[in-house]
Structure 1
């Protein structure tokens, strides 16, 4: 159902690209790093030998053969789940909607960090849920702010039992919640009996190769973990999973079956074939190097074209896809979109990431898919658009 309790559930147009537009909008992975020749051979063999099964309907379970590939990924962040508690999805976006429809009740409140991933807020609003932003600090979501917010909502008669977070290389800010912060946050969730929805598409994409432990690994009975192959392999396969507490796995499996009827047996088999032959380490390391280089190019160009003491401020992330710019004097960054279009560059205005109209003074830049040789040019175009927009 479409909610009437807040703004319309709307996604920004992230993947549209024009002729000479340099797009900093969509968080697309750099698929140039994929070993396509090897994958082509694997797919050919898969279709030739097992096509009748790969192209058929499948049961709403993660295939037994794919479980080691998921276990491998989760273990790198200190997480894990029993096979019977893994629920297949067509990417974590489907997982968000499945959790919203399967676990929550229309009208109840979902707590979330702000700014928030628009796909999550759209999924929750589509399911008829209310959103409430939790106060943050320099490190991210504030545990004390979470406690105060939950107690206030409950005193006002609202149901508040779900917490959504994207704690590692957060979309859109690129920040990672420190380990000590995570411990305190989970302590508050234990105290207030909150169920955590951990959305983790970028957790393995650290530039230095180090992983921050996932919340699920610390509190598996309190965390619903959303995983995806979109960022560590490729989004076109539309394949992911939910690692659910045992008490919720059956409900979520039923919900995903209603949404999609069947997971893609072909996608699961393709991922299985790749993992069995190559594992994840080399591919993930290659992705990390590619994004580290692109991020450095963008951050250096921003310093060169915008300076570090002007109206715009940002932080260099340690991983992920994004740099988050904020205007020191406030104002709606949507006013820059026309000038950006005229200069042939695109970004996502910060208002898309607000829960209740906040963050209009910011904008998100994605460096993950832009050709390296065009990043500096794109930032130059952006800087010209921002100066022009400020002058209007």
Structure 2
């Protein structure tokens, strides 16, 4: 069931680049940190010694050799990886689609933390689900309002079974839900019989190495956990996993197998070989160092160009890929994004992350893949666009003149 073509039509444009465009748009990792010679040798060995297996169809399970690598990653955030409940995916995006198809029914309402990753809302709508923005307060998702909203939706005849969250270094805001708030949200979910979907691509990318206990660690049977190797290894392998509650494992695995038939044995083998040889710590530390430096360069440039008293507000994140700007007067950021594009810098306007236009005053800036020497220039171009009145907001006489 295809119900909304807008998000998938826009998503690929995040990764397009022009000759003189400084892209602050797409959330690409910094693959300069990868040990490519080592990975190349490992891939060559896999193909030379086991190519007939690595290049063949395989069973729809996380490979036995890869399970310790997944368990290590989840344990760093206190999570639990039971080999019997791990389901392979082609990254979190496939996991989101599998969750929506397996656990929802067309016409169901799914509560969504907003501003929301647009790939998630696209997956939900594609499965026929109806995203509904979950209420927030100053500390993030609001468990008391969650109770009231679910009661009101159900009283109005809506079926509500799922709550989706990207709780750590969220895309697009960079915000993280504190553990006490996570505990409160889970208590509300148990009361309301809501299953929580935890999408966690960025949790290990805290700049100082700090991690936050997963929702899944706090209640494995109430949480469907989506993990991916895209941000801590490389997205080109298209490899991730679902850590499923035991009672949902069959339903999720069945749908995942229908979608992909077979996970990539070559990708899983490459990841397992890297882990067996090198572990995760050195590579994750290199990613953290890269993103900490880039984020500091971008935030410093924003401070210098826009100052603290202007119309744009932001907070320095503690990890992840993104900075989130909002207009103090809640002006539509779309025309500002167009003005920035005209100056050769691409950003993503907040409407892209909305359910019903509620975050149109925001702009997402991604620092993870911008060349260091281009960050200050890119923010300079952006600031020039943000400090003028975009043509779409000028008075008609000004446009005519």
TM band (smaller chain) = over 0.9
- Specify the alignment match of 1:184 in structure 2: 184
Query: CA separation in 2, counterparts of 1:111 and 1:232?
Result: 28
- Specify the alignment match of 1:288 in structure 2: 288
- Specify the alignment match of 2:163 in structure 1: 163
Change (3 A) 1:11 1:253: farther
1:100 aligns with 2:100: yes
- Name the SS for the 1:153 alignment partner: helix
- Whether the 8 Å CA contact 2:33–2:287 is kept in 1: the answer is yes
Describe how 1:7-86 pairs up with structure 2 within 5 A: 10-12=9-11, 13-86=13-86
Deviations 1:50-77 (Å, cap 9, x if unpaired)? Answer: 1110000011110101000000000000
- Name the SS for the 1:363 alignment partner: strand
- Whether the 8 Å CA contact 1:11–1:122 is kept in 2: the answer is no
Deviations 1:289-311 (Å, cap 9, x if unpaired)? Answer: 11001000000000100111100
- Specify the alignment match of 2:120 in structure 1: 120
1:183 Cα offset (Å)? 0.7
- Whether the 8 Å CA contact 1:339–1:389 is kept in 2: the answer is no
- Name the SS for the 1:326 alignment partner: strand
- Whether the 8 Å CA contact 2:7–2:352 is kept in 1: the answer is no
- Whether the 8 Å CA contact 1:121–1:131 is kept in 2: the answer is yes
- Specify the alignment match of 1:312 in structure 2: 312
- Name the SS for the 1:87 alignment partner: strand
Query: CA separation in 1, counterparts of 2:6 and 2:263?
Result: 31
1:7 Cα offset (Å)? 6.9
Deviations 1:276-323 (Å, cap 9, x if unpaired)? Answer: 000000000110011001000000000100111100000100000000
Query: CA separation in 2, counterparts of 1:299 and 1:241?
Result: 33
1:3 Cα offset (Å)? 2.3
Query: CA separation in 1, counterparts of 2:201 and 2:328?
Result: 30
- Name the SS for the 2:106 alignment partner: coil
Gaps of 5+ in 2: 395-401
Change (3 A) 1:261 1:277: same
1:385 Cα offset (Å)? 1.4
- Specify the alignment match of 2:233 in structure 1: 233
- Specify the alignment match of 2:397 in structure 1: none
- Specify the alignment match of 1:247 in structure 2: 247
Query: CA separation in 2, counterparts of 1:161 and 1:80?
Result: 23
Gaps of 5+ in 1: none
- Whether the 8 Å CA contact 1:163–1:196 is kept in 2: the answer is yes
Query: CA separation in 2, counterparts of 1:174 and 1:389?
Result: 27
1:383 aligns with 2:383: yes
- Whether the 8 Å CA contact 1:8–1:125 is kept in 2: the answer is no
Query: CA separation in 1, counterparts of 2:100 and 2:212?
Result: 26
Query: CA separation in 2, counterparts of 1:127 and 1:10?
Result: 16
- Specify the alignment match of 2:351 in structure 1: 351
1:357 Cα offset (Å)? 1.3
Query: CA separation in 2, counterparts of 1:137 and 1:112?
Result: 14
- Whether the 8 Å CA contact 2:198–2:223 is kept in 1: the answer is yes
Change (3 A) 1:241 1:190: same
1:390 Cα offset (Å)? 4.2
- Name the SS for the 1:105 alignment partner: coil
Aligned CA RMSD, in angstroms, stands at 1.3
- Name the SS for the 2:387 alignment partner: helix
Query: CA separation in 2, counterparts of 1:245 and 1:191?
Result: 18
- Whether the 8 Å CA contact 2:7–2:119 is kept in 1: the answer is no
1:338 Cα offset (Å)? 2.7
Give the length in aligned residue pairs.
Answer: 391
- Whether the 8 Å CA contact 2:24–2:366 is kept in 1: the answer is yes
- Whether the 8 Å CA contact 1:321–1:366 is kept in 2: the answer is yes
- Whether the 8 Å CA contact 1:348–1:365 is kept in 2: the answer is yes
Deviations 1:27-56 (Å, cap 9, x if unpaired)? Answer: 000000001111111111111101110000
Deviations 1:190-241 (Å, cap 9, x if unpaired)? Answer: 1111100000000000011011000001100010000000000000000000
If the length of structure 1 is used for normalisation, what is the TM-score? 0.98
- Name the SS for the 1:266 alignment partner: helix
- Whether the 8 Å CA contact 2:172–2:364 is kept in 1: the answer is yes
Moved more, 325-334 or 233-242: 325-334
Change (3 A) 1:168 1:8: closer
- Name the SS for the 1:197 alignment partner: strand
Query: CA separation in 2, counterparts of 1:293 and 1:9?
Result: 31
1:11 Cα offset (Å)? 4.0
- Specify the alignment match of 1:172 in structure 2: 172
